[in-house]
Amino acid sequence: MVLDFEKELQEIYQKAEQLKRLYSLGDKEREKELRKAQREFLKKSKEIYSKLDPWERVLLARHPQRPHAVDYINLIFKNFIELHGDRCFGDDKSIVAGFAYFDTFPVAVIGQEKGRTTKEKMERNFGMPHPEGYRKAIRIAKLAEKYGMPVITLIDTPGAYPGIGAEERGQSEAIAQSLYTFGYLKVPSIAVIIGEGGSGGALALGVANRVLMLENAIYSVISPEGCAAILWKDQGKVKEASKALKLTAHDLLKLGVVDVIVPEPLGSAHWDYKRSARILKYMLRKCLKELIYMSPGEVIQDRIRKFEKMGVFVEL
């Protein structure tokens, strides 16, 4: 899939990839042409991605080729061991959780996963967690707390699943318990919004000492389509809704909702998974160094102060 504003860029990219293949096969005369195509791609990508409106950022956050939680786990962490089930009902595959090494340091990793193929998307419920998914995340977070391991969450969901079964099994209670658990964890926590951050389904894993957000990710209380339907009674007003919601990384940094914007290589993460993972790993390492030597009490107070500073109120 190629977005409308990326079509010209895709043509240049394909040309550069073709030249790269010829060069790797021994056609050294293609080097100058290859360098020219790569420079052209970089120039055009800067031109395109620097002028995107909020709705276009939404489209990028939902891009089907965008790196998912599983991609980042495989590229950033070592020896990841996934744990399954919530010990109450079952296993929710929309949340991937377990333990791994970050560099040489053991950590807990919890990610929302949408899936790539049609079959995977069905298995992962398109990244919309059930209550058992949040309870699994709580279980892993408490295990990490017990053994003194930092917790890293990767957020990418349109929202918690709103089905009848999910409601019957206590969806809102599971989200509330997740908010409380992550709010009062005695170990450092870092949340990273890697794609969509939809409503309470995202916030359930987003209460952390540091909240990072990829450059083209989004984070909001409702989708632009839902907002347009409520405010304008017209889903065609998604551009206006996207702007009003202040859901982009730059808007949320100004509002103090996120702490760090993680740059994406070549304008958007889907062009280069490995470079995107390297940049994110550098940012995670930097944040962990700030938090790792805090005492349990300092960790909790740091987190509380962060969220207390959000928003504006007036005393009358």
Write down the pLDDT at residue 5. Answer: 85
Per cent of the chain over pLDDT 90 is 78
For the chain, the first-to-last Cα distance in angstroms comes to 53
- If one compares 29 and 124, the residue with the highest pLDDT of the two is 124
pLDDT of residue 254: 92
The mean pLDDT value for 5-11 works out to 87
Question: Could you tell me the residue ranges of all domains in the chain?
Answer: 4-51, 57-308
83: β partners? 97
- The length of the chain in residues reads 316
**Nearest of 89, 204, 199 to residue 137 by alpha carbon:** 204
Strand 95-102 to 78-83 pairing: antiparallel
Output DSSP code: residue 89: S
36 has a pLDDT exceeding 90? no
Q: Model confidence at 18, in pLDDT bands (50, 70, 90)? A: confident
Tell me which of 15 and 132 has the higher pLDDT.
132
Helix (H, G, I), strand (E, B) or coil at 157: strand
The mean pLDDT value for 169-177 works out to: 95
Kindly tell me if the per-residue pLDDT of 145 is higher than 90: yes
Q: Average pLDDT in the 198-224 region?
A: 95
Q: Which of 109, 250, 283, 129 is nearest to 198 (CA)?
A: 129
Burial of 175 (0-12, 13-18, 19+ CB in 10 A): buried
Q: What are the tens digits of pLDDT across the range 239-259? A: 999 999 999 999 999 999 999
Q: Are 288 and 152 in contact (CB under 8 A)?
A: no
- Helix, strand and coil content of the chain, in percent to the nearest 5, comes to 55, 15, 30
The pLDDT of residue 100 is above 80? yes
Residue 291: is its pLDDT beyond 80? yes
**Domain 57-308 adopts which CATH fold?**
2-enoyl-CoA Hydratase; Chain A, domain 1 (3.90.226)
Residue 315 has pLDDT above 90, yes or no: no
Identify the band that residue 227 occupies on the pLDDT scale cut at 50, 70 and 90.
Answer: very high
pLDDT value for 26: 75
If one counts every other C-beta atom within 10 angstroms of the C-beta of residue 106, the result is 14
Q: How confident is the model at residue 37 (pLDDT cuts 50, 70, 90)?
A: confident
Residue that has been written with the tokens 């394909």 in this structure: 14
The count of other CB atoms within 10 Å of the CB of residue 94 is 27
Query: In the chain, at which residue ranges do the beta strands (DSSP E only) sit?
Result: 78-83, 95-102, 105-112, 151-157, 189-198, 210-214, 218-220, 260-262
Which tens digits make up the pLDDT trace of 261-289?
999 998 899 999 999 999 999 999 999 99
Average pLDDT over residues 161-175: 95
Would you say residue 106 has pLDDT above 90?
yes
Burial code of 265-278, b = ≥16 C-beta within 10 A, e = fewer?
bbbbbbbebeebbe
Query: Average pLDDT of the chain?
Result: 92
Kindly state the tokens that stand for 100.
Answer: 């791994």
User: Across residues 4-8, what is the average pLDDT?
Assistant: 85
Confidence bin at 75 (pLDDT 50/70/90): very high
Q: b or e along 57-75 (b: 16 or more beta carbons within 10 Å of the residue's beta carbon)?
A: bbbbbbbeebbbbbbbbeb
Query: Is the pLDDT at 3 greater than 90, yes or no?
Result: no
